[in-house]
Amino acid sequence: MNLQEIESKYKELIDKALRYTEELNDPVHGVGHVKGVVKNTWLLLEKNLLADKEVCILSAYWHDVGRKYGKAGHGLKSAEILKEELLKLNYDELFIEKCYKAIYKHDEKELPDTIEGIIIRDADKLDDLGIERWKECIEKQVRLPRIIMNLCDNLLLLEYSKELYNQIAEEWLEYLKNITIGK
């Protein structure tokens, strides 16, 4: 199943996650960030054939909805909200549990229990350097919480995540150079 097929299959749930995200009114963790995490998730899935693609993509869309209730524990809250939604729609218990575990430990200080969780965590951390995320924050004059220059060595778990980080870092530095020279 490709990304478009997964997004089509889960359209209602994805739309609901995006509505939650828009309600946050947080450019740092807004729709642009979510789409960056989805993009990174798909890239990581290309190298992790054993991971459940549907679980990963759906979880990527829902990973930050719990921020509505604050930053602390938002991964767990996001997992609980998605679990409730999936239960209402009578999804299989195993699928629900896999989605829950993919989200509930995605903070940098936590270590996920499953390959799906590791993918979501790495995809989320990779977006800390996402150019689209930075552009949106600069445009809205919102300061990103931090630039993670030691992200590659200290936070990313998958080797391919580290390779993607190096590619993103090069693009990011080129972007910064261009906006600096343009001024």
Which of 68, 58, 59 shows the shortest CA–CA distance to 21? 68
The pLDDT confidence band at residue 146, using thresholds 50, 70 and 90, is: low
Q: Where are the domains of the chain?
A: 3-181
Q: What is the pLDDT of residue 77?
A: 96
Overall average pLDDT of the 154-161 stretch: 82
Cβ neighbourhood burial of 54 (10 Å; 0-12, 13-18, 19+):
middle
- Nearest C-alpha neighbor of 106 from the set 85, 90, 127: 127
Q: So what's the pLDDT on residue 83?
A: 98
Question: Token match 């930050």: residue?
Answer: 64
How many other CB atoms sit within 10 Å of the CB of residue 4?
8
pTM of the predicted model as reported, rounded to 2 decimal places: 0.83
Per-residue model confidence (pLDDT) at position 4: 97
The CATH superfamily holding the domain 3-181 is: Hypothetical protein af1432 (1.10.3210.10)
Where does the pLDDT of residue 127 fall: very low under 50, low under 70, confident under 90, or very high at 90 and above?
Answer: confident
Q: In the prediction, which pLDDT does 104 show?
A: 95
Cα of first residue to Cα of last residue in the chain, in angstroms, is: 45
Tens of pLDDT, residues 70-126 = 888 899 999 999 999 999 999 999 999 999 999 999 887 788 999 999 999 999 988
